[in-house]
A and B are shown apart, each in its own frame.
Chain A
């Protein structure tokens, strides 16, 4: 230690700063490109009530990526996809349905898939109010139904697919339908009886059951879909490869790190796993059948 101290004392100030930068302390010491914040898009997939969590997660990512990180929140998946296409954001946490939709040319690629309760999969829950006598989707005929987002898998595509599977036409089965653009608000709409039934991401419902049980207690699940690939994290294909690599490493590395594990714990996720595009084949198949009009 004595030797080390004397060496440090002798080197110049500039060298010290360089060393600190190399030590991945997120100090912006490189070119102007490096100063530009990395923009990360978020959607209704994530429960967005806990702003403190996002602040910590942002801090965590800034440290690992070595650049400022800004989260960009938009109401719909469509807006986030637009931002990805124009390059305003480089990363986003979207849903499986937007991911499988056809794009020419493709401008995104999978970055990571969250692992929830041991597997990178989730359901769509069909929920109604606790006092609602309905036991299946068929009982909701002529009622008010809440979707989350027209590009949501669990909150739009799957419930329509489930209804179409029974031979009904999703477009005129209900008296009214509306979009909440947020899974958590779908649960609230059901709990407050604004809608009679709704479709919600199983991950969000289970998360709320732990953090806001007073809301979920007023709802009940009458139907669970098959498992689908969990809403993935994607990155813009045209983004800086080095940035992509560092971001991916930071995301994957969360489970290896005490801070990262704490953040994962707050998200109620096990980890972020490397992507496997075949994970979304189920969604792709459902989307294809719905687009053909024949489930």
Chain B
């Protein structure tokens, strides 16, 4: 298909085509109207001419008719119908005659076939009817008839003498002139129409090019903006103050504002990052500083009394605890900073490994662990992240229940999401704590680093998931994690590798 559907054509084709079609349509319609009018006018002219010539003959004929001056009548006919030098076109006279009231020929332009004194042989019934009518009404008549030599206008004018009709002048003018002159007029008019169409289409092409250039630029600009690049600026000429010009201006303003906004956002994000980093650094400094103070005191005391075994026995565990605490903080930080690389794929069984850890954590305490892992063994999951999330949440739950209670662990994969729920019936979380639950270094326990839930939160965020907390003081808490399955699960076949 060379020609596609017009709806797919470019505006730069459709617009000039439409303008050309409109111009041609208008020109042809107006032209045809003029031609039709011109044709009527030419016909009227011809009829008038036929009447004028016949009247001219009739005006001088009455005396010759009365005197039977056949030669005089013939001369009048010939001289009235002879082409004059002034008129460019020959009158196109097919026939002319003078008849008496009985219908006999008094003079005829073609006397050979229409001898004087004889009835008019060529008369047809219609013509006879008109002749009778002219005789009766004493008024000129004109009509169009069809003859051997083609269509002609027939004028019949009575020859009058003192009010009574003594004869008739009949003139036949060929209507060929109407056709030739109409054709000539039509030629000129359609020539003008074609010239107008050419000019119109050229103008249309120019206008559409001017209109479409900024539109194309706009479309390209939109495309670029859609891809996230806010830099395109469409050149706007000062004279384009029309709607398209306004559109281009609005677009340029929009892209400018968008890129400014993004710059601001980027700056904001950077400063937030820096602030967070600052907070972490401050937290680290603070958390590290606390045990450091005690440890330095211990060391100071040990230096003063180098030989005191009891002090050594008392302070060494303290120093060890302090260093362990610092190591825990640093390890937590490292774990958080390493999360990008902590991707290790395995089957659903890796979640079960967490169960062993937690059972060990619970130890001898009478804590009931309700374990419901719905993840299939054959499903391949991102173990590292999930294990850490599950372990963190479960450890918190175990700590929350204290000496005895119930901890529930449930996993479920449905609707493209992986759901993990950890529930306990421990002390619950007060409202003021809930607000800072996921802040780094926020902890309610003396031995806590305040990094567990923060790291959990960061991991879930990184996997594109979300975490919810429902808690009531004295009754327990429920942590619900939803992670898009595609982030953490692969089908068994592809995941086997």
Contacts and interface: CB of A to CB of B under 8 A. Distances in A.
Interface string B116-152: 1100000000000000000000000000000000000
A244 interface: no
Interface in A141-185: 144, 146, 175-176, 178-180, 185
A221 interface: no
B69 interface: yes
A150 to B, nearest CB: 12
B68 A178 contact: yes
Contacts of B69: 178-179
B73 to A, nearest CB: 9
A176 B70 contact: yes
Given A192-B111, A193-B111, A194-B107, A180 B71 contact: yes
A69 to B, nearest CB: 30
Interface string A85-98: 00000000000000
B117 A179 contact: no
B117 A176 contact: yes
B contact residues, range: 10 to 19
Nearest to A131: B112
B74 interface: yes
Contacts of A263: none
A212 B115 CA distance: 25
DSSP class of B's interface residues: helix, strand, loop or mixed? loop
Nearest to B112: A193
Given A144-B117, A194-B107, A178 B112 contact: no
B71 A194 contact: yes
A176 B116 contact: yes
B71 A178 contact: yes
Interface in B434-467: none
A169 to B, nearest CB: 18
Interface in A111-157: 144, 146
Contacts of A189: 71, 74
A179 B70 CA distance: 8
A180 B69 CA distance: 8
A217 to B, nearest CB: 16
A36 B52 CA distance: 45
**Most A CB within 10 A of own CB, among B69, B71, B75:** B71
A194 B117 contact: no
B98 to A, nearest CB: 12
Interface in A266-293: none
B68 A194 contact: no
Nearest to B109: A192
A175 B75 CA distance: 20
B100 to A, nearest CB: 12
A176 B67 CA distance: 12
Given A144-B116, A144-B117, A194-B116, A178 B111 contact: no
A144 B71 contact: no
A180 B74 CA distance: 11
Interface string A213-251: 000000000000000000000000000000000000000
A193 B115 CA distance: 8
B70 A144 contact: yes
Interface string B6-40: 00000000000000000000000000000000000
Contacts of B71: 146, 178-180, 185, 189, 194-195
Contacts of A180: 71
B97 to A, nearest CB: 12
Contacts of A146: 71
A122 B70 CA distance: 28
A196 B70 CA distance: 13
Contacts of B116: 144, 176, 194
Contacts of B117: 144, 175-176
Contacts of A178: 68-71
Nearest to A176: B117
A130 to B, nearest CB: 12
B128 to A, nearest CB: 23
A175 B69 CA distance: 14
B211 to A, nearest CB: 74
Interface string B94-112: 0000000000000100011
A176 B68 contact: yes
A176 B100 CA distance: 14
Given A178-B69, A185-B71, 20 more contacts: A144-B70, A144-B115, A144-B117, A176-B68, A176-B70, A176-B117, A178-B68, A178-B70, A179-B69, A179-B71, A180-B71, A189-B71, A189-B74, A192-B111, A193-B112, A194-B70, A194-B71, A194-B107, A195-B70, A195-B71
9 A-B pairs with least C-beta separation: A176-B117, A193-B112, A178-B70, A194-B111, A180-B71, A193-B111, A194-B74, A175-B117, A178-B71
Interface of B: 68-71, 74-75, 107, 111-112, 115-117
